[in-house]
Structure 1
Amino acid sequence: MADARPPKRVRTKEPEAEPPVQRSSRYWLEDGNVILQVQSTQFRLHKSFLAIHSSVFRDMFSLPLPAEEPLIEGCPLVVLHGDTSEDWAHLLDAMFPNECFVDNPPLLDAVGGILRLSKKYDVPAFRKRCLERLREEFPTTLEEFDKDIASISHPGGMEFSEMCAHSVNLAREVGVFSMLPSALYYLIRQEPGVFGEHISILDSVQDKLAAYKAYAEMSRDYCQTPLQWLKPSGCIPSPSCSTRDECERRRNGLFIDLIPDPTIVASIVDFWNEEDKWEEGLCEPCVTEAKELYEKMRKECWEKLPSYFGLPSWEELKKMDLE
Structure 2
Amino acid sequence: MVQHQYPVSQTGVRSPSRPPKDMEDFRSRKRRRAASDPSRHTSERFAWPEPVLPANLVHDPEFWFDDGSVVLTALNVGFRVYRRILEEHSPFFKDMFRIPQPAHALTVEGCPVVVLVDTPQQLRHMLRVLFPTSGNLRFGKQEAPITMDAVAAVVRLSHKYQMDQLLAQALSALMEFYTDDFHEWIKRDRKTTMTAMPIDAITAISLAHLTSTPSILPLAYFHACCAGSQVLRGCVRDGAWAEPLTYVDLIRVMDGRPSFVHALNKMVCRIFKPETSAACLDSRRCLRVMTARACDMSDYLEMAYGAMFALGVSLCSFAAVHGEVELTTGMRLCDKCRSMLKERELEEKKELWNDIPSIFDMEEPEGWQVE
* TM-score interval (norm. to shorter): 0.7 to 0.9
Structure 1 residues 95-137: Cα deviation after superposition (integer angstroms, max 9, x where no partner): 1123799642322211111111100001122211111111222
Q: Summarize deviations over 1:247-268 as a string: whole Å, max 9, x none.
A: 3343333333226837627969
CA distance, structure 2, for counterparts of residue 101 and residue 27 of structure 1: 13
Uncovered stretches (5+) of structure 1, i.e. residues with no partner: 1-17, 155-159, 190-194, 318-323
Residue 182 (structure 2) pairs with residue 142 (structure 1): yes
Q: CA RMSD in A?
A: 3.4
Q: Which amino acid aligns with 1:240?
A: A
Question: Higher RCO, 1 or 2 (CA under 8 Å, sep at least 6)?
Answer: 1
Aligned length: 286
Q: CA deviation at 1:273?
A: 1.2
State whether residues 182 and 350 of structure 2, in contact with CA within 8 Å, keep that contact through their aligned partners in structure 1: yes
Residue aligned with 2:318, SS: coil
The structure 2 residue matched to 1:128, chosen from 164, 168, 178, is: 168
Shift in Å, 1:287: 2.2
* Corresponding letter in the other structure for 2:304: I
Structure 1 counterpart SS, 2:100: coil
Q: In structure 1, what is the equivalent of residue 252 of structure 2?
A: 210
Task: Identify the range of structure 1 (63-72 vs 205-214) with the bigger mean alpha-carbon deviation.
Answer: 205-214
Asked if 2 retains the 8 angstrom alpha-carbon contact of 1:272 and 1:291, the reply is no
For normalisation by structure 1, the TM-score amounts to 0.74
Contact 1:139 1:182 in 2 (8 A): yes
Alignment of 1:96-135 (within 5 A): 96-98=131-133, 103-104=141-142, 105-135=145-175
DSSP 3-state at the match of 1:315:
coil
Q: Could you tell me whether the CA contact under 8 Å between 1:237 and 1:247 is conserved in 2?
A: yes
Change (3 A) 1:285 1:316: closer
2:198 corresponds to which of 136, 145, 161: 161
Cα 1:213–1:264 shift into 2, 3 Å:
farther
Q: Does 1:274 align with 2:319?
A: yes
Match of 2:291 in 1: 252
Match of 1:48 among 61, 76, 84: 84
- Distance apart, 1:75 and its partner CA: 2.7
Structure 1: distance between partners of 2:297 and 2:211: 39
- Equivalent-residue separation in structure 1 for 2:126 and 2:314 (angstroms): 35
> 1:95 corresponds to which residue?
130
Listed one character per residue, the Cα deviations across residues 25-56 of structure 1 (whole Å, up to 9, x for unaligned) are 23223333322211111122232221111000
Deviation at 1:227, TM superposition (A): 4.4
In 2 relative to 1, CA 36–314 (structure 1 residues): closer, same or farther, beyond 3 Å? same
For residue 151 of structure 1, give the secondary structure of its aligned residue in structure 2. Answer: coil
- Aligned partner (choices 227, 231, 241) of residue 199 of structure 1: 231
CA distance in 1, matches of 2:195, 2:265: 36
Do the aligned residues in 1 keep the contact of 2:159 with 2:211 (CA within 8 Å)?
yes
Q: CA deviation at 1:269?
A: 7.3
Counterpart contact for 1:140–1:178, Cα < 8 Å: yes
Give the partner amino acid of 2:162: D
Deviations 1:210-253 (A, max 9, x none): 33433322332468636423346xxx123333543443343333
State the identity %.
26
**Structure 1 residue 170: deviation in Å?**
4.3
Tell me the TM-score normalised to structure 2 length: 0.66
Q: CA deviation at 1:91?
A: 1.1
Moved more, 172-181 or 90-99: 172-181
Report if aligned partners of 1:279, 1:287 keep a CA contact under 8 Å in 2.
Answer: no
3-state DSSP class of the match of 2:217? helix
1:72 match: 108
Corresponding residue to 1:179 among 216, 222, 235? 216
Give the aligned partner of residue 240 of structure 1.
279
Q: Deviations over 1:158-186 (max 9, x none)?
A: xx434445544544455443222223334
SS at match of 1:60: helix
In 1, the alpha carbon distance for the partners of 2:256 and 2:55 equals 45
Provide the C-alpha distance between the structure 1 equivalents of 2:82 and 2:314, rounded to a whole number of angstroms.
Answer: 49
| Pair 1:269–1:152, CA change in 2 (3 A) | closer
Moved more, 245-254 or 117-126: 245-254
Pair 1:249–1:207, CA change in 2 (3 A): farther
**Structure 2 CA distance for aligned equivalents of residues 109 and 210 of structure 1:** 24
Structure 2 vs 1, CA of residues 174 and 246 (structure 1 numbering), >3 Å: closer, same or farther?
Answer: same
1:63 Cα deviation from its structure 2 partner: 0.9
Amino acid at match of 1:109: D
List alignment gaps of at least 5 residues for structure 2.
Answer: 1-53, 236-243, 326-331
